[in-house]
């Protein structure tokens, strides 16, 4: 054996030598908790009394972990954890910066809210077929997609959340569900495969998959052509995920078909993962190519927000109306990405978090309306104002919040985005934001007018006994989500501070690289950027 | 070697796009499988493709030999194959179920989620 003449190797060059601090483990905790509790739920799937208890404790634990992580990042800056002790760029890194931690926190809130609502909505059959395992695994996938620092790993998390969402979408196997799920599954699969092809090109061009490493090599690269191609391919793939115009047609075909709890968690989380990936790839990895793509992104953003809102106006079904509003919201988030200024990006960050909460709440609210009135059809609904006065208060708050009217949380990010558009002279983008807000107001106030104000039809039974459990569980969940949007609306200072910090971090990719590599190594790396990874 | 793989990848992409433009779900399904194979070949071609030096570290050394094959793309392709395969299995069952339930595999005729000729939304109060 050759152990005798073993040369002295300095392990510190390649390995993490000391164990990470206890608080840093929070970054992988959502993944561990999500998968363990999903497995426990699967084991107890025949016991439909015990399984919800396990699932709820899992969701509460995940929320506790992401809340802890958010506070940790808020006070101590970006947290990084390298898997298997290998230092970047070799090991798979998990990186929680302010953007990732904030979105993970909101995802935890949305997951818990829909989990509670589903306690009454999902029936025993759906629980046996795995509602809670799918939900927990999808939530773990979404949170890990927000926190990973490795582009191939991001692909893996996309697939994890995709499989969880397929499972949730077909639960119940009604005709329209199968139809919607087929379209959703194929289009999302094509989008993820395109993303994988882009990852392959990234590996071929830079020889690395670590996002920080890509960022620093891309910044040093003189040749724009291949980098711009990759950035455009990423933009195409993630825009499809985020349902931006003209790649949005799978969303209104599928989101209204499953149970409302499932629609709510989809509307809150899935498209926003696409937006997050766009922000991460175009701002941290390829910032100069974002400048080249800015005008196309702006056009896509304006078209998404206007056509989404117009589509919402043309719907009779309340659930499909909300599907179009999701698309419209995606357009508003992309507007900040197109502008690329600090004001625009903090608007986007704030709007993304706001939209996750409000879209989830809107879907759950329509679920309660449907349960109470027995219909989702705007032509037939009515009479809820008298039957459920508190629900109409909630509905009005959510309608105003989604349209960006004061004093709720939609107002501030829109002000930021309009100001940022006018600052760079993009009056048409500012106009599109305002017009889409106006159209959204009409669509949602019409929903309010028909479902609440209009007296009930002859012989319609509003709020009968069968709907009681869903209504009873719907009120506290909706009240909690509404409280969030009201607080963010009337006391926006802390939320704006977080959004501003996210924008500063996104504008400064060097800071991300430095957080992953450590200050000394980042300086070394800046000197020898021509190195290969052989 | 890379050129041959690149041409093959192009062929795979061409076939998959042709299949995915079809109206029939089963062809679209075959198209997506071909697309993911094309993507896997792309990853494979992006690493060094060599037949001469296997990526095995000889006894007593700490680094593989100069010009050894790159093992990382193979690990990536392996992961991607497993994921694509599981998705293919899911889609196959989904397509079969929807064919049984809806009685068609023509995407134009599958209009249950978005039925044709829906009434207009209420136009006045």
Q: What is the pLDDT of residues A365-376, one digit of tens each?
A: 999 988 887 788
Q: What is the DSSP letter of A82?
A: E
How far apart CA A407 and CA A493 sit, in angstroms, is 14
The answer to whether the Cβ–Cβ distance between A446 and B121 falls below 8 Å is yes
How far apart CA A396 and CA A82 sit, in angstroms, is 46
| Mutation target among B22, B31, B37, B114 for the A interface, most CBs of A within 10 A | B114
Task: Summarize the confidence of residues B103-108 as an average pLDDT.
Answer: 84
Q: What is the pLDDT of residues A39-76, one digit of tens each?
A: 999 999 888 889 999 999 999 999 999 999 999 999 99
Residue A511's nearest CA partner among A526, A498, A496 is A526
- Please report the pLDDT score of residue A225 as a whole number: 83
Q: Cα-flanking dihedrals φ and ψ of residue B24, to 5°? A: -95, 130
Q: What is the pLDDT of residues A354-396, one digit of tens each?
A: 999 999 999 999 999 888 877 888 888 888 888 888 999 999 9
Q: Where are the domains of chain A?
A: 286-457+465-510
Residues β-bridged to residue A210:
A150
Tell me the two tokens of residue A252.
């209104």
Long-range contacts of A83-87, Cβ-Cβ distance < 8 Å, separation of 24 or more? A85/A15, A85/A16, A86/A14, A86/A15, A86/A16, A87/A13, A87/A14, A87/A15, A87/A16
Check if A7 contacts B (Cβ < 8 Å). yes
- Residue A94 host element (H or E): strand A93-96
Q: What is the pLDDT of residues A34-43, one digit of tens each?
A: 999 999 999 9
The answer to whether the Cβ–Cβ distance between B125 and A163 falls below 8 Å is no
* Stretch among B2-11, B13-22, B23-32, B66-75 having the lowest mean pLDDT: B66-75
- Please report the pLDDT score of residue A531 as a whole number: 42
Q: What is the pLDDT of residues B6-22, one digit of tens each?
A: 999 999 999 999 999 99
Q: What is the pLDDT of residues A313-329, one digit of tens each?
A: 998 899 999 999 999 99
Check if A175 contacts B (Cβ < 8 Å). yes
| Mutation target among B34, B121, B124, B125 for the A interface, most CBs of A within 10 A | B121
Residue A277, CB half-sphere, CA atoms under 13 Å: how many? 35
- Please report the pLDDT score of residue A528 as a whole number: 46
Q: Indicate the SS3 state at residue A93.
A: strand
- The ipTM value here is 0.93
pLDDT at B30 over 60: yes
Residue A523: band (very low, low, confident or very high) from pLDDT cuts 50, 70, 90: low
Chain B residue closest in CA terms to A377:
B121
Q: What is the pLDDT of residues A198-253, one digit of tens each?
A: 999 999 898 889 999 999 888 888 888 889 999 999 999 999 999 998 888 889 88
What residues in A contact B19, CB-CB < 8 Å? none
CATH number of B1-51+69-102: 1.10.287
pLDDT, mean over chain A: 88
Q: Quick one: how many helices (H) and strands (E) in chain A? A: 22, 2
CA distances from A210 to A96, A471, A527, B14 (A): 14, 47, 19, 31
> Whole-prediction pTM value?
0.92
* Stretch among A363-377, A450-464, B33-47 having the lowest mean pLDDT: A450-464
How far apart CA A289 and CA A284 sit, in angstroms, is 11
From first CA to last CA, the distance across chain B in angstroms is: 70
Q: Indicate the SS3 state at residue B70.
A: coil
Tell me the two tokens of residue A4.
């005798």
Tell me the two tokens of residue A173.
């196997």
Share of chain A above pLDDT 70, in %: 94
pLDDT at A527 over 70: no
The answer to whether the Cβ–Cβ distance between A196 and B97 falls below 8 Å is no
Q: What is the DSSP letter of B54?
A: -
Q: In chain B, positions 69-108, which contact chain A (CB-CB < 8 Å)?
A: 72-73, 76, 79-80, 83-84, 86-87, 90-91, 94-95, 97-98, 101-102, 107
Contact partners, residue A22, CB within 8 Å, separation at least 6: none
- Residue A95 host element (H or E): strand A93-96
């Amino acid at each position: 054996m050759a152990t005798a003449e073993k040369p002295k190797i300095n392990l510190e060059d390649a390995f993490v030598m000391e164990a990470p601090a206890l608080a840093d483990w929070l970054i992988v905790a959502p993944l561990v908790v999500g998968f363990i509790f999903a497995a426990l739920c699967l084991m107890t799937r025949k016991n439909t009394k015990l399984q919800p208890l396990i699932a709820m404790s899992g969701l509460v634990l995940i929320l506790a972990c992401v809340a802890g992580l958010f506070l940790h990042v808020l006070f101590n800056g970006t947290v990084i954890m390298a898997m298997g002790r290998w230092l970047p760029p070799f090991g798979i890194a998990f990186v929680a910066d302010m953007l990732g931690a904030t979105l993970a926190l909101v995802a935890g809130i949305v997951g818990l809210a829909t989990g509670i609502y589903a306690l009454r909505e999902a029936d025993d059959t759906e629980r046996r077929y795995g509602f809670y395992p799918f939900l927990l695994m999808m939530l773990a996938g979404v949170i890990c997609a927000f926190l990973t620092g490795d582009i191939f790993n991001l692909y893996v998390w996309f697939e994890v959340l995709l499989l969880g969402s397929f499972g949730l979408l077909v639960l119940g196997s009604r005709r329209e569900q199968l139809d919607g799920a087929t379209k959703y599954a194929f289009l999302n699969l094509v989008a993820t495969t395109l993303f994988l092809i882009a990852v392959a090109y990234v590996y071929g061009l830079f020889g690395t998959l670590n996002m920080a490493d890509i960022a620093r090599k891309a910044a040093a690269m003189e040749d724009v052509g291949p980098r711009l191609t990759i950035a455009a391919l990423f933009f195409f793939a993630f825009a499809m995920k985020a349902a931006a115009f003209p790649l949005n047609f799978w969303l209104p075909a599928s989101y209204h078909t499953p149970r409302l709890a499932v629609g709510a968690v989809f509307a809150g989380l899935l498209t926003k993962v696409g937006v997050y990936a766009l922000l991460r790839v175009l701002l941290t990895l390829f910032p100069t190519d974002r400048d080249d793509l800015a005008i196309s992104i702006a056009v896509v953003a304006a078209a998404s927000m206007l056509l989404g809102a117009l589509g919402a106006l043309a719907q009779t079904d309340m659930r499909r109306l909300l599907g179009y509003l999701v698309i419209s919201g995606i357009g508003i988030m992309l507007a900040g990405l197109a502008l690329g200024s600090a004001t625009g990006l903090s608007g986007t960050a704030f709007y993304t978090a706001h939209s996750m909460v409000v879209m989830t709440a809107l879907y759950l609210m329509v679920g309660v309306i449907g349960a109470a009135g027995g219909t989702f059809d705007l032509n037939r609904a009515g009479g809820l104002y008298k039957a459920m006065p508190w629900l109409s208060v909630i509905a009005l708050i959510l309608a105003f919040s989604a349209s960006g009217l004061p004093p709720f949380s939609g107002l501030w990010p829109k002000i930021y985005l309009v100001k940022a558009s006018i600052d760079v002279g993009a009056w048409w983008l500012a106009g599109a934001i305002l017009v889409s807000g106006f159209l959204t107001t009409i669509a949602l106030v019409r929903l309010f007018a028909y479902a609440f104000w209009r007296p009930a039809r002859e012989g319609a039974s509003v709020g009968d006994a069968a709907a009681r459990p869903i209504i009873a569980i719907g009120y506290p969940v909706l009240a909690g989500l509404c409280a969030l949007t009201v607080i963010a609306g009337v006391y926006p200072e802390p939320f704006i501070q977080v959004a501003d910090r996210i924008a500063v971090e996104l504008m400064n990719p060097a800071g991300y690289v430095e957080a992953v590599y450590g200050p000394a190594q980042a300086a070394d790396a800046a000197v020898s950027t021509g190195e290969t990874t052989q | 070697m890379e050129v041959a793989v690149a041409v093959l990848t192009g062929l795979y992409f061409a076939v998959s796009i042709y299949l995915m433009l079809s109206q029939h779900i089963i062809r679209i399904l075959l198209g997506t499988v071909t697309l993911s194979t094309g993507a896997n070949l792309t990853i494979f071609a992006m690493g060094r493709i060599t037949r001469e030096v296997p990526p095995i570290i000889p006894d007593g050394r700490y680094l593989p030999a100069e010009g050894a094959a790159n093992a990382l793309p193979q690990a990536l392709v392996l992961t991607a194959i497993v994921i694509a395969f599981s998705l293919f299995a899911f889609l196959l069952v989904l397509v079969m179920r929807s064919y049984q339930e809806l009685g068609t595999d023509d995407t134009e005729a599958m209009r249950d989620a978005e039925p044709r000729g829906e009434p207009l939304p209420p136009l006045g109060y």
